[in-house]
Chain A
Amino acid sequence: MKNRFSAGRLTVYIVAYGLVAFMLIPIIWMFWVSFKPINSVVTVISELLTPPYGVESYIRVQESSMIWRWTLNSVIVGIVQTASTLLLSSLAAFAISRIAFKGKTFIFLLILAGLMVPVEATIVPLYELIVRFGWVNSYPALILPGIALPLGVLILKQFYDAIPNDLMEAAKIDGANLLRIWWSIFLPLSRTSMAALAIFVFVQSWNNFLWPLLVANDQSMMTLPVAIPTFQSSFTVDLTVPMAANVLASIPALIFFLIFQKQIIKGIAMTGIK
């Protein structure tokens, strides 16, 4: 075992933990600053590292912002978008994979072509559509345009294609209709792919910035990514309150990560590689 700690091995350790420090210091700094009293000098490291500490800044964020409302908005948009994407793309993928119908190739190619279209390039017509529907500052505007995700159909179709036909034939003989086959055979079998897709969609939705910036300009309809900079822009000198807001905005995602770390990493690898 001695040679495991050769000079080469030591270098590997130094590089690895050096990078760990680079990745973690900004996050630790965010937490640390947020616990200093409001308006304290946090820019001198020696002062930052000595007490007093407290939760003053957190109380201020709660009093002077709608942080819970913004978090709730982000959670609602994220969950509804993820659930709808899963449901709709799995139905569509099932039809494309398992039902014979006219225009199948055309529909599949049409959906595949969408993989190449950046949403950023369609914001003008999309925004006009939302205005015409009278949906500015509403959940439908935040949620609906992101649901029909080509990637979802692609991933699930590939998975469904690999499910042996015998299963389906057997169920048919038992008199099950297609909806029932989809629900009780294909959905349970594709749990891992679905979980992977769910994580992918949720993270995208949680971090979406440009689209909510366009359609949510009322404070009460903002999601966290749009609301946080708006709130912070009124603090130019004090760092503690903006950092407390950052911490509060990150906590749901960080908890989610700590609990589902393995699944998240596996999910991203799966959606990416497939």
Chain B
Amino acid sequence: MSKLAEVEAKEKVPMSKVKKREMWKSNLTAWLFLFPFVSLYLLFMVYPIIEGFIISLTRGGFGMDREFIGLSNYTTMLSDAFFWEALWNTIIFVLISTPSIVVLGLLMALLVNQGLKGTTFIRAAFFVPYMLSISVMTSIFVFIFQPYTGLLNEILRSVGLIDGEIFWLGETGLAWLSILVATLWWTVGFNMVLFLAGLQDISEEWYEAADMDGANAWQKFWHITLPSLRGVLTLVVILQSVASFKLFGQPWLMTGGGPGTSTRPLVQYIYELGFRNWNPGYASAVSYVLFLVMMIFAFIQYKLLIKKED
């Protein structure tokens, strides 16, 4: 409850003129402070959400008079194999990339936290790929994964593991693996930093107490470190699954969604529907479904990860 309202409730008398004027002034000042942010927010966030839903109920190109077709775009989706493929691709990527990045990020944070020689260097090395732009990152990895001239096949050949070539980006399973490895390489440092902050909040005394009880490293990790990291873990899982749902640049720049459409995620499908097929209505409908699926996922995660804390 705001202060003025509190005062008003307590006194239960009509406000004096002075108070009224003060409150009016306070309202005005607040809105002056809020105006720049809120106007941009309404224009570029709230309006597109509402307008997006309206567009999703129509048919017709950009800038045209569009025809209202009710929920047709949504029912079309039900029998659109490309939509289901893209949705499936996205969900699989979320389910695989999230645990991988959590495990690798946590491992890296634990390593940095060991007080090894060269810790500053190790931490910097783990984090630095995150500073590269997505197109630089994908460009490097596309060249690494090239079948005939790529670094990876060259290394594998020189140590005698293969003698032909592997088409890393040309086969569905391998293409997904390549996208996953590139994504891990690129973003794991960000997650490591979050884990690291969590680790440094854990009190040394707990470990000392455990040492006195003769606990081994594994027991300390399992009974002290991991439970203390629950909050950070929740955060990383939520941030990472949101980021994975928005997957676009990596497949777009590495595989183009191929071979065929087998690595095409939902955001790429939305992009192509809207800006290649010029079908904004259908693209908006798929956008809304993406939004909905993300909300459902967030809700499930919330229930699973946060409720347990009670």
B partners with A? yes
Task: From B49, B63, B134, B245, give the contact of A122 (CB < 8 A).
Answer: B49
| CA gap between A53 and B176 in the complex, in Å | 35
Q: B284 and A100: CB pair below 8 A?
A: no
Which residues of B sit under 8 angstroms from A268, Cβ to Cβ?
190, 193-194
Q: Does A30 sit within 8 A of B, measured CB to CB?
A: yes
| CA gap between A128 and B283 in the complex, in Å | 13
Q: B122 and A88: CB pair below 8 A?
A: no
Task: From A120, A148, A270, give the contact of B270 (CB < 8 A).
Answer: A120
- Which B107-124 residues sit within 8 Å CB-CB of chain A? 107-108, 111, 114, 116, 121-124
Q: Does B177 sit within 8 A of A, measured CB to CB?
A: no
Which residues of B sit under 8 angstroms from A176, Cβ to Cβ?
none
Task: From B150, B274, B291, give the contact of A124 (CB < 8 A).
Answer: B274
Q: A123-B274, A209-B133 provided; 13 other pairs, C-beta below 8 A?
A: A43-B154, A88-B40, A95-B31, A118-B294, A128-B280, A228-B135, A229-B138, A239-B149, A249-B135, A265-B127, A268-B194, A269-B196, A270-B197
Q: Does B258 sit within 8 A of A, measured CB to CB?
A: no
Q: Does B144 sit within 8 A of A, measured CB to CB?
A: yes
A-B contact pairs, 26 of them (CB 8 A): A15-B107, A16-B111, A20-B122, A30-B136, A44-B154, A45-B154, A114-B46, A118-B242, A118-B246, A121-B270, A122-B52, A124-B280, A125-B55, A127-B62, A129-B43, A148-B38, A148-B40, A209-B135, A214-B275, A224-B135, A226-B135, A228-B133, A228-B136, A232-B139, A239-B143, A239-B149
| CA gap between A15 and B103 in the complex, in Å | 14
User: By the criterion of a CB under 8 Å from any partner CB, how many residues of chain A are at the interface?
Assistant: 88
Q: Nearest chain A CB to B16's CB is how many angstroms away?
A: 16
| CA gap between A263 and B233 in the complex, in Å | 22
Instruction: Give B residues with C-beta under 8 Å from A.
Output: 2-5, 23, 26-27, 29-31, 33-34, 36-38, 40-41, 43-49, 51-52, 55, 62-63, 107-108, 111, 114, 116, 121-136, 138-141, 143-144, 146, 148-151, 154-155, 158, 185, 189-190, 193-194, 196-198, 217, 231-232, 235, 239, 242, 245-246, 248-249, 253, 267, 270-271, 274-275, 280, 283-284, 287-288, 290-291, 294-295, 298
- Which A224-272 residues sit within 8 Å CB-CB of chain B? 224-226, 228-229, 232, 239, 242-243, 246, 249-250, 253-254, 256-257, 261, 264-265, 268-270, 272
With A29-B140, A44-B154, A228-B133: A120-B290 Cβ-Cβ less than 8 Å:
yes
**Mask: chain A, 80-93; 1 = CB below 8 Å from B; 0 = not:** 00000001110110
Nearest opposing residue in chain A for B279, CB measure: A124
Q: B131 and A254: CB pair below 8 A?
A: yes
Q: B128 and A254: CB pair below 8 A?
A: yes
Q: Nearest chain A CB to B257's CB is how many angstroms away?
A: 14
Task: From A29, A45, A121, A261, give the contact of B52 (CB < 8 A).
Answer: A121
Q: B62 and A128: CB pair below 8 A?
A: yes
Q: B194 and A272: CB pair below 8 A?
A: yes
Q: Does A102 sit within 8 A of B, measured CB to CB?
A: yes
Of the listed stretches A59-67, A103-111, A187-195, chain B binds A103-111
Q: B37 and A153: CB pair below 8 A?
A: yes
Nearest opposing residue in chain A for B119, CB measure: A16
Task: Tell me the number of A-to-B contacts counted with CB atoms below 8 Å.
Answer: 270
Q: Nearest chain B CB to A59's CB is how many angstroms away?
A: 20
With A127-B274, A228-B139: A99-B133 Cβ-Cβ less than 8 Å:
no
Which residues of B sit under 8 angstroms from A75, Cβ to Cβ?
none
Q: B26 and A99: CB pair below 8 A?
A: yes
With A19-B111, A153-B37: A118-B44 Cβ-Cβ less than 8 Å:
no
With A210-B267, A269-B197: A246-B40 Cβ-Cβ less than 8 Å:
no
Which residues of A sit under 8 angstroms from B4, Cβ to Cβ?
100
With A117-B49, A148-B40: A210-B27 Cβ-Cβ less than 8 Å:
no
Nearest opposing residue in chain B for A272, CB measure: B194
Q: A88 and B36: CB pair below 8 A?
A: yes
Q: Nearest chain A CB to B270's CB is how many angstroms away?
A: 7
Which residues of B sit under 8 angstroms from A264, Cβ to Cβ?
127
Which residues of B sit under 8 angstroms from A242, Cβ to Cβ?
139, 143
| CA gap between A161 and B23 in the complex, in Å | 21
Nearest opposing residue in chain A for B280, CB measure: A124
Q: Nearest chain B CB to A157's CB is how many angstroms away?
A: 12
